[in-house]
Structure 1
Amino acid sequence: MSETRYLGLPDGRLAYDDSGDGPLIVCLPSMLDLRSQYRFLRPLLLEAGYRVVTVDQRGMGETSARWPEYGSTPLAHDLLALLRHLDAGPALVYGCSNGAAAAVWVAAEAPELIKGLVLAAPFVRDGDGGFALKLTAALMRIPGLAVPLYMSYYPKWEPKPPADFAEHKAKLKANFKEPGRGKVIADYLSMSHAEAEVRLDRVQAPVLVIMGTGDIDWPDPAAEADWVARKLNGQVVLLDGAGHHPHVEFPEEIAEAVTAFQRSL
């Protein structure tokens, strides 16, 4: 594991790791998780000859806890700053969940920085979570409830959990106990991806959409993957039974798909 690096930004400090040589792949984990979400995919990409950078989102991991705002668009600004800081030319960006929205935003606003997009379990528009999700988001604003509610929901995102699932979950829970971090849960749950959706027509970079059929965040994951791919003229890889973190459950299949996609660019 490489040593954590930091990028100072006007409102906080962004934590990331950077290792390997070759074509650059920047990986954004899903909201309210750690960059170690890529603990299985990252070594496979390094072995395949890539330079891999994984990032902790605002409020999470080793990135600063307190920021003026959280969500897809703030993450997009952070990604933009990081790509310029790395100064390695156009990158392939692998964005999961709201990380996909951030990747779309940057591809539209700074196309010179993007070689291609891999959008895993992508939220590039606002979904209709219904009353249950709205009630849960409201409850998570109550002090003392946010962390236990979120941690009870977390396993639903990985229906085929890896052997170290309990260890990773414990690490995530410990991270939320650090000062200021538990409060970000409600802020992320109330974010919008509308700024990514209005930019979809401006994305010119090649796109690969990865979706699991067991992703509970969409009533019909396959239909959502097809919609995203059609909007972006992209390809789709559908993984049977995978949840919202497909690179955790099926790292070998994801590494193969990413490698083939990158080589086609």
Structure 2
Amino acid sequence: MSEQTRYLDLPGGRLAYDDDGDGPLIVCLPSMLDLRSQFRFLKPLLLDAGYRVVTVDQRGMGDTSADWPEYGSTPLAHDLLALLRHLDAGPALVYGCSNGAAAGVWVAAEAPELIRGLVLAAPFVRDGKSGFSQKLTIALMRVPGLAVPLYMSYYPKWVPTPPADFAEHKAKLKESFRRPGRAKVIADYLDMSHAESEARLDRVTAPVLVIMGTADIDWPDPVAEAEWVRDRLNGELVLVDGAGHQPHVDFPETVAGAVLTFARSLDK
């Protein structure tokens, strides 16, 4: 895996991604406020199976520039649309985690010729209902100086079965927030809405696979949410027992098996 960073200059900033392998294209979008190295375990399994894999840093994260005019699911969808056209490799399988799933839905509705299939992992394709403690945490993250420490203390809850290198990845993520222009990135993402993706659900015609961890704390009932998404998109569902909001980090082999089975079904 070369993991050589490539860049795509867009009107609002510079998008960072890596591009490895040959074969059918899979584009992976990590969950918000994380790095594209979130796919460090899934990516090699997909490469070994003969796929070309592109992973992307969202706006304000990792090697992608900061100080974009806006952040969130719909801006990410515009970036994905531009990237797919730039890659010019035909329709892609898009693996979107969390708000990355919302971006995949948006593009599948607006430019179906670019999407071969969607894998929606821990998908936020509509706005969720936050409990009091979650609302309080979000409010405190808007206080200058508290955002990064509060976010980094919450982050491990997304990965209930952490890999051996989890502390190293977490340190890398924390360091990324120290880069110039990143101080307000967390707050910029807090007001994100997925309403534009929800409004487009009925226009998605691409095959869909939903992957949800049963221990995903972002939903009061993650299984019920996964079933709702599956039913709205007439898709398939794989539940990963014990996985959190990043199922491909908790159980990469399980997720890779599901993704590859789905990807191969698109060739039939």
TM-score range, shorter chain: over 0.9
Which runs of structure 2 are paired with 1:169-180 in the superposition (5 Å)? 169-180=170-181
Greater CA deviation, 180-189 or 35-44?
180-189
Letter in 2 for 1:215: D
CA deviation profile, 1:196-238 (whole Å, cap 9, x unmatched): 0000000000000000000000011110000000000000000
Q: How large is the RMSD of aligned CA atoms in angstroms?
A: 0.6
Letter in 2 for 1:176: F
SS of residue matched to 2:19: strand
Letter in 2 for 1:104: V
User: Within 2, Cα distance between the matches of 1:161 and 1:189?
Assistant: 25
TM-score (norm 2): 0.98
Determine the structure 2 residue equivalent to 1:192: 193
| 1:160 and 2:161 correspond | yes
- CA apart distance, 1:190: 1.4
User: Within 2, Cα distance between the matches of 1:20 and 1:189?
Assistant: 35
Letter in 2 for 1:35: R
CA deviation profile, 1:39-78 (whole Å, cap 9, x unmatched): 0000010000000000000000000011000000000000
Determine the structure 1 residue equivalent to 2:55: 54
Q: Which runs of at least 4 in structure 1 moved beyond 6 Å after TM superposition?
A: none
User: Within 1, Cα distance between the matches of 2:186 and 2:148?
Assistant: 8
% identical equivalent positions? 82
SS of residue matched to 2:264: helix
Determine the structure 1 residue equivalent to 2:75: 74
User: Within 1, Cα distance between the matches of 2:113 and 2:248?
Assistant: 27
User: Within 2, Cα distance between the matches of 1:135 and 1:244?
Assistant: 20
Counterpart contact for 1:66–1:180, Cα < 8 Å: yes
Determine the structure 2 residue equivalent to 1:108: 109
| 1:227 and 2:228 correspond | yes
- CA apart distance, 1:146: 0.2
SS of residue matched to 2:61: coil
User: Within 2, Cα distance between the matches of 1:263 and 1:93?
Assistant: 14
CA deviation profile, 1:104-136 (whole Å, cap 9, x unmatched): 000000000000000000000000012222222
SS of residue matched to 1:216: coil
Greater CA deviation, 134-143 or 249-258?
134-143
User: Within 1, Cα distance between the matches of 2:49 and 2:183?
Assistant: 37
- CA apart distance, 1:148: 0.1
Determine the structure 1 residue equivalent to 2:12: 11
CA deviation profile, 1:121-158 (whole Å, cap 9, x unmatched): 00000000122222222211111100000000000000
TM-score (norm 1): 0.99
- CA apart distance, 1:186: 1.3
Counterpart contact for 1:137–1:190, Cα < 8 Å: no
User: Within 2, Cα distance between the matches of 1:164 and 1:99?
Assistant: 23
- CA apart distance, 1:2: 2.6
Structure 1 unaligned regions, length at least 5:
none
Counterpart contact for 1:229–1:235, Cα < 8 Å: yes
User: Within 2, Cα distance between the matches of 1:184 and 1:135?
Assistant: 18
Structure 2 unaligned regions, length at least 5:
none
User: Within 2, Cα distance between the matches of 1:15 and 1:92?
Assistant: 19
